[in-house]
Structure 1
Amino acid sequence: MKLLYKPLGIAFGVLGGLVGGAIFKQIWKRVAGEEDAPGALQSEYGWKEILPAAALQGAIFGAVKAATDRAGAKAFQRATGEWPGD
C-alpha cells in the first residue's frame, strides 16, 4: 500500500507547492503593494527587504505543504484503511 501512495504523495507535494506559491503572491501584493517579492539576487533590495520576504514565503509554503500532505494521507487512509506513513 505504501508503494501505491508514493505517486500520490508526490502529486500532493506539487499541489501544495503551487497553492502555497499562489497564496504567498496574493499576501505579498496586499502587504507590500508590489506584484513580486524581492529576490536575493536583486541588487536594488537590501537585507531588510529580502529576509522578511523569504521568511514569510517559507512559512506559508511549509504550512500549505504540510496541510496538503496531511489531507492527502487522510484521504488515502479513508480509501484504503491504512495510514501511508506507518
Structure 2
Amino acid sequence: MGAIGSSADNAAPESFNAAFKRETLKGRKAWPSEREARLDAFRWLTQYNTRCRHSRLGQRSPIAYKNTLQQAPTTTTQAA
C-alpha cells in the first residue's frame, strides 16, 4: 500500500476495476437494458469471488480464503 495520494495507493482497486471492465465489456459499447448490465456484473462478481484464484491468497478464491479465516464461535464466561 502506498502513501495517500501516490499512484500505488489505488493499485488494488484499479486492477480490480480494469479486470471487471475488460471481462464484462469484451468489446461491447452498451447492453440492451439496465437489467442485462446488472446481470452481467453479478455473473462476473460471482465468478470472481468463487472461482478466480489469486496468488496473493495462496492460489485460493476470495470465498475460499475468507472461509479459512472463519474462527470458531467463542463464548464469554458469565460474571459471578
Tell which structure's C-alpha radius of gyration is larger.
2
Higher helix residue share: 1
Higher relative contact order (CA 8 A, sep 6+): 1
Structures share fold, TM-score greater than 0.5: no
TM-score range, shorter chain: 0.3 to 0.5
Q: What TM-score, normalized to structure 1? A: 0.39
TM-score of the aligned structures, taking structure 2 as reference length? 0.41
